[in-house]
């Protein structure tokens, strides 16, 4: 993989800049946007970026950091799901706590924002508290967002409890957007100043990148990734007025800045040190770019990938037509074509051939994969296994120089699994999926040296690109993610079945 980003340089620059910001206060509340762990979007558009850069940054500052996790009560009540992990926001809070503890980072507490006695939220609070995790309940702030006098008073922020913290840097993070991170930071600042402590607020967002052009593919890729949130990149007019310097931000930050500035000034009793929303940020990711052409090309590929993802989400009913059209316009704006993603045409051509051969109405399920050396392989669905499993087996056989005629998995292993699915579990679809095939392969590898050699090649699939002619099941999507394969899908279901897809 060609590298366009210097991760080590970025980490040093970023940690130094945060520490400089902390020196101005007794305590800094640092709002973390985006993913704290596993930022695969950043990894794809910035080749060389470590998807766990943020968490490694916090580990570098471990002695000075503790973490507050926010989650909006409404997201718990309606069982909002994270698309990347396929789990609800309340479960993601539990996952995040476990992951942070795994890095030996201090998790202070969980804040339930805009809490209104929702029964399902109360159950979640009980679950946390009975496992020894501190939980704070914040109600909706009276007067927000326009009545600053009420917001910054005992009737506003004063109504919510103060969170006791001990470290100079308090990172405020969440499972997703709209979780109340900003409100939690400001609430804490209000209580700190009432206690005579000088505290500050900063924001850590990786995207948009403030010091590259507005229409740079890297920034357009961020718009494509957040199309459902209606985020729009724009020039930070406040920054230009203050410094005569062009900086890029996004609409929500620019629109809310005047009110945010007034709230901070009301809390501190003095003129805000920030003259623009860009000033509030501490992001230095732009300074880690070492090859702009590589980053541009990677960002264009990500925009195409996001286009297919959004088309599939529209087909599933997760996003509206306006969202899908927005991403389509971004593709057209950069004169990108579906065929610019190399794995698409081989999959479609093989699918059409099979569709005609078997007289199917629907698209025939085929997955293609591009290996690191540029080789493109395909796999199709059959009675034995689905297309995702087939393409993985074909890929590792190719990498291990194993002939197509050699079967890696013995029928002695396959048949009991198929019988279990069909006769005991009574599954309608008995074809083995990707995870089931890999488990079967690992069993065979215990006695078959050829299967063991093939198994060892799975790690070489990381960062490969793939495309499916039909929408994948959630389990197959997650398995490809675990293998590190970036896969896109045509917005077509493999059958007319509504439940058994």
Residues above pLDDT 70, as percent of the chain:
100
**Domain-located, residue 69:** yes
- Rounded to whole angstroms, the maximal C-alpha distance in the chain is 77
pLDDT tens for residues 43-60? 999 999 999 999 999 998
Average pLDDT rounded to a whole number, residues 8-16:
91
Q: Which domain holds residue 113?
A: 7-209+251-288
pLDDT in tens, 89-111: 999 999 999 999 999 999 999 99
- Give yes or no: residues 276 and 398 share one domain: no
Run of H or E including 369: strand 366-370
How many folded domains does the chain comprise?
Answer: 2
391 in a domain, yes or no?
Answer: yes
Q: Is residue 467 part of a domain?
A: yes
Q: In what order do the strands lie in the sheet with 199-204?
A: 135-137, 106-113, 65-72, 169-173, 27-32, 199-204
Q: Are residues 264 and 410 in the same domain?
A: no
What is the pLDDT at residue 82?
81
3-state SS track over 191-208: HHHHCCCCEEEEEECCCC
Regarding whether 481 and 373 lie in a shared domain, the answer is yes
- Structural domain contains residue 295: no
CB distance 247 to 176 below 8 Å: no
The answer to the question of residue 471 being in a domain is yes
Domain membership flag for residue 337: no
Shared-domain flag, residues 50 and 181? yes
- Tell me the C-alpha to C-alpha distance, in Å, between residue 54 and each of 126, 319, 339, 457: 30, 29, 34, 29
Specify the CATH number for the domain of residue 94: 3.10.630.10
Contact call for residues 67 and 107 (beta carbons, < 8 A): yes
Residues 270 and 347 in one domain: no
On whether the CB atoms of residues 59 and 101 are closer than 8 A, the answer is no
Look at 170-179, 337-346, 489-498 and tell me which has the smallest mean pLDDT: 489-498
Tokens describing residue 135 = 């939980």
Mark whether 167 and 277 lie in a shared domain. yes
Q: Report the pLDDT value the prediction gives residue 358, as an integer from 0 to 100.
A: 84
Asked whether 235 and 210 are in contact (CB, 8 A), the reply is: no
Judge if 262 and 389 occupy the same domain: no
- Which pLDDT score, from 0 to 100, does residue 109 have? 97
DSSP secondary-structure letter at 340?
A: G
Q: Is the pLDDT of residue 86 over 90?
A: no
- Which CATH number do you get for residue 472? 3.40.140.40
- Assess if residue 360 is contained within a domain: yes
């Amino acid at each position: 993989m060609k590298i366009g980003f210097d991760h080590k340089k970025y980490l040093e620059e970023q940690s130094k800049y945060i520490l400089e910001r902390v020196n101005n206060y007794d305590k800094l509340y640092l709002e973390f946007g985006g993913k704290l762990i596993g930022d695969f979007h950043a990894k794809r558009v910035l080749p060389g970026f470590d998807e766990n850069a943020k968490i490694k940054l916090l580990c570098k500052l471990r002695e000075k950091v503790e973490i507050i996790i926010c989650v909006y009560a409404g997201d718990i009540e309606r069982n909002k799901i994270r698309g990347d992990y396929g789990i609800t926001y309340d479960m993601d809070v539990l996952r995040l706590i476990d992951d942070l503890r795994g890095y030996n980072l201090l998790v202070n507490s969980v804040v339930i924002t805009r809490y209104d006695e929702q029964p399902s939220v109360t159950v979640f609070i009980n679950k946390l508290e009975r496992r020894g995790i501190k939980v704070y309940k914040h109600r909706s702030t009276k007067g927000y967002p326009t009545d600053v006098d009420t917001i910054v008073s005992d009737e506003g922020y004063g109504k919510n409890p103060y969170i006791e913290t001990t470290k100079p840097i308090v990172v405020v993070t969440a499972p997703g957007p709209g979780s109340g991170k900003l409100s939690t930071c400001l609430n804490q600042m209000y209580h700190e100043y009432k206690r005579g402590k000088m505290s500050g607020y900063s924001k850590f967002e990786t995207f948009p990148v403030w010091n590259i052009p507005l229409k740079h593919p890297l920034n357009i890729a961020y718009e494509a990734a957040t199309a459902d949130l209606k985020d729009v990149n724009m020039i930070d007019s406040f920054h230009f007025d203050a410094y005569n310097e062009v900086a890029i931000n996004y609409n929500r930050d620019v629109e809310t800045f005047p009110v945010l500035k007034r709230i901070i000034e009301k809390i501190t009793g003095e003129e805000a040190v920030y003259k623009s929303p860009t000033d509030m940020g501490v992001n230095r990711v732009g300074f880690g770019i070492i090859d702009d052409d590589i980053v541009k090309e990677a960002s264009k590929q990500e925009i195409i990938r996001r286009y297919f993802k959004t088309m599939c989400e529209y087909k599933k009913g997760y996003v509206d037509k306006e969202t899908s059209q927005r991403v389509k316009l971004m593709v057209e704006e950069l004169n990108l074509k579906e065929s610019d993603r190399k794995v698409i045409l081989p999959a479609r051509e093989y699918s059409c051939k099979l569709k005609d051969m078997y007289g199917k109405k629907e698209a025939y399920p085929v997955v293609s994969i591009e290996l690191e050396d540029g080789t493109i392989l395909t796999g199709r669905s059959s009675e034995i296994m689905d297309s995702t499993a087939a393409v993985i087996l074909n890929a590792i056989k190719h990498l291990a120089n194993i002939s197509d005629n050699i079967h890696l998995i013995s029928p002695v292993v396959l048949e009991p699994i198929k019988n279990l699915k069909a006769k005991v579990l009574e599954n309608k679809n008995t074809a083995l999926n990707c995870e089931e095939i890999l488990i079967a392969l690992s069993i065979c590898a215990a006695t078959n040296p050829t299967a063991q050699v093939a198994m060892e090649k799975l790690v070489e699939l990381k960062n490969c690109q793939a495309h499916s002619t039909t929408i994948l099941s959630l389990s197959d999507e997650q398995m490809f993610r675990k293998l590190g394969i970036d896969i896109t899908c045509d917005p077509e279901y493999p059958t007319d079945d509504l439940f058994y897809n």
